[in-house]
Structure 1
Amino acid sequence: MSRAGATAVDRVIAAYLDHLVVERGTSRNTLDSYARDLRRYSFHLEQSGVTDFTAITAADVTAFGAALREGDEEHQPLAASSAARALVAVRGLHRFAQADGITELDPAREVRPPASAKRLPKALPVHDVLRLLDMPPAEGDRALRDRALLELLYSTGARISEAVGLDLDDIDDGERTVLLDGKGGKQRLVPIGRPAVDALHAYLVRARPALVGRGRGAAAVFLNSRGGRLSRQSAWQVLKTTAERAGIAASVSPHTLRHSFATHLLEGGADVRVVQELLGHASVTTTQVYTLVTVNTLREIYAVAHPRALG
């Protein structure tokens, strides 16, 4: 077999995908995504007259990055996040080729994916959150549970997964704190407001005993109708259903009350590093996305209230 045949672009891509399966144990979803992105890369190179993998240059990789955002005769333009994902696949391909001795250099080494635009978190206005939390619950044990769950989410800024992961020992009524298990196994102690404490107490005393009796004595705070731990999906449905009942037009997501918690704290004058600790963010940079929301709010107020704002 000729050297050109051994280094045909599609042949190297096939070898890389095999490497991901056999040696890296890559999941099927990730593998399918990489295969799709690398097929597009191969098409782009072919259109540029490049069929030998060893002939690919940094300029070819950069041109592919531009083509991802602009589209071509076979493909639609991609959003920045999708283009970044495709370039990650390409960079992995070239790293593999260099490590395997197929090429001497890595032409994609210095090519960086486009930075994704920061999306501002969606937060509900305070009056919408209050309307959500004050929504008269339906009758029954689950109604008390749902009220306690929503109050806790907004009071602590917990992720839904953290809330449903709570065990009874994680709540300290006397200190009015909850111990949350965050990402990477990191725990944090978060204060909890009086309305949330009262809602939790009502649920734990009046409703949870009936729910736990249907199961096997789960230690979880929030239980489903069969006495087992409430799932994240079910907790999200509680939020979504209650928002619809309250007539809130804005779309809600699993993070809606968490985003609202952070935004309202910052608007109330809380220091960004305090909010970082409460949210369990490893870096303050992550939390600072919320400051963009509050700056926008301040700008709107300024434009309306200042006599020379439009001058």
Structure 2
Amino acid sequence: MGNTDNYPETKTYHEQKYIDNTLRLRAVLKTLPPFARDYFRAVEPTTSARTRISYAYDIRVFFHFLIENNPLYKDYTMDRFTLSDLEKLEPVDIEEYQEYLKVYENEDNKQITNTEKGLARKMSALRSFYGYFYKRQAIAKNPTLLVDMPKLHEKAIIRLDADEVAKLLDYVDHGGDDLTGQRKAYFEKTKNRDLAILTLLLGTGIRVSECVGLDIQDVDFKNNGIKVTRKGGNEMVVYFGEEVENALKSYLYTTRKNTIPLPGHENALFLSTQRRRMGVQAVENMVRKYAREVTPNKKITPHKLRSTYGTALYKETGDIYLVADVLGHKDVNTTKKHYAAIDENRRRQAAGAVKLREV
């Protein structure tokens, strides 16, 4: 498997993503005030391309807000804004922007609503933007520091229970048994691939972006490991067990072996029915499709499968540092925050674990 000698050299998924994101960011920067480029150059070493693109869109919303809602700027075009305009704004202007973000219309007249998380990210982008110029003394004041950031409420983590995991995999395995005709043909055509993806996500906890970025050469059955590219571009080998091994082999030696990929997609591990590398959205749709049949009351996404794995691993090992390492969390506090509820149960058990006197 994985011999590509006959193919022209193709870029890896992550190399191509980097190129696409760089070009996309350049395009967005052209729609921002000229001085904004200094900020994006400065944050490049410490942020991912995706984060910079998100921040660029968020900051563009801010300048559109000023043009639409602030009488001072109603005749402005984007290229007229200068750093002195940032200095003119007061904390009340920032508070009005925060209120505006809850519901507004974008450039295509489409209504956008922001939940707590979206609001917090957009305000964080603006605070970072202001902070850069303030720190370098390009502006004398920073009104974002005088405005309270949106409060984020913790949400309960949705994950699959052990019996639901088994039901999900059983459904993919046998869901086509009662189908007929074209529906059965399609189900059978994608079954091995879908089972391999779900088993891999549930058995390793890798991110969906890491999953779709896998090449055939990244799978090592000798050591039962896969080479994944983590957030930030670091490569890491994630090991898998027998169930994942069997699901991957079953897919590789049947569906994948019998599919001729389109040019440029020869190395991709997971192919769509169009014979291209599967994208993040395709995997998200696939997970939702099966999960609806098994757990209709839970909104299951690939990230929830990651949480399911992390929970199971923590329950088995009780080692939060191991869970953080395997999941690729840079900061163990991120992991602790997600699995605090399990810690609570362990603490409750500890209360009755030590007996002071035999009754």
C-alpha displacement at 1:115, in angstroms? Answer: 5.3
Report how many residues are paired.
271
Letter of the 1:34 counterpart: F
The letter of the residue matching 1:29 is Y
Deviations 1:186-218 (A, max 9, x none): 11111212111111111111211222x253471
8 Å CA contact 2:58–2:122 kept in 1: the answer is: no
Shift of residue 255, structure 1, vs aligned partner:
0.6
Contact conserved, 1:180 with 1:188, CA < 8 A, in 2? yes
Q: Corresponding residue for 2:149? A: 113
Which of the pair has more CA radius of gyration? 1
Deviation at 1:301, TM superposition (A): 8.7
Which structure 2 residues correspond to residues 63-78 of structure 1 after superposition, within 5 A? Answer: none
Q: Normalising by the residue count of structure 2, what TM-score does the alignment of the two structures yield?
A: 0.62
Aligned match of 2:237:
189
- Residue equivalent to 1:35: 63
Partners in 1 of 2:64 and 2:144 — Cα distance? 18
Change (3 A) 1:54 1:191: closer
Residues 91, 206 of structure 1: CA spacing in aligned structure 2 closer, same or farther, 3 A cutoff?
closer
Structure 1: any 5+ residue segments left out of the alignment?
Answer: 1-16, 44-51, 303-311
1:85 aligns to 2:122 (yes or no): yes
The correspondence for 1:209, drawn from 229, 233, 257, is: 257
Shift of 1:34: 1.5
Q: 1:174 to 1:34 in 2, by over 3 A?
A: same
Aligned residue type for 1:259: S
1:240 paired with 2:288, answer: yes
Cα deviation for residue 172 of structure 1 reads 1.6
Taking the TM superposition and a 5 Å limit, the aligned residue runs for 1:94-243 are 96=133, 104-109=140-145, 113-114=149-150, 116-135=152-171, 136-138=174-176, 139-211=187-259, 213=260, 215-216=262-263, 218-243=266-291
Q: Distance in 2 between matches of 1:262 and 1:227?
A: 32
Aligned partners of 1:68, 1:33: CA distance in 2, in Å? 10
1:210 partner SS:
coil
Which letter maps to 2:315? Answer: E
| Counterpart residue type for residue 262 of structure 2 | G
Aligned to 2:333: 285
Amino-acid identity (%): 23
* Pair 189,95 (structure 1): closer, same or farther in 2 beyond 3 Å: closer
Q: Distance in 2 between matches of 1:70 and 1:24?
A: 25
TM (norm. structure 1) is 0.70
Residue 160 of structure 1 aligns to which amino acid in structure 2? V
Structure 2 unaligned segments of length 5 or more: list them.
Answer: 1-31, 41-51, 72-84, 105-112, 177-186, 351-359
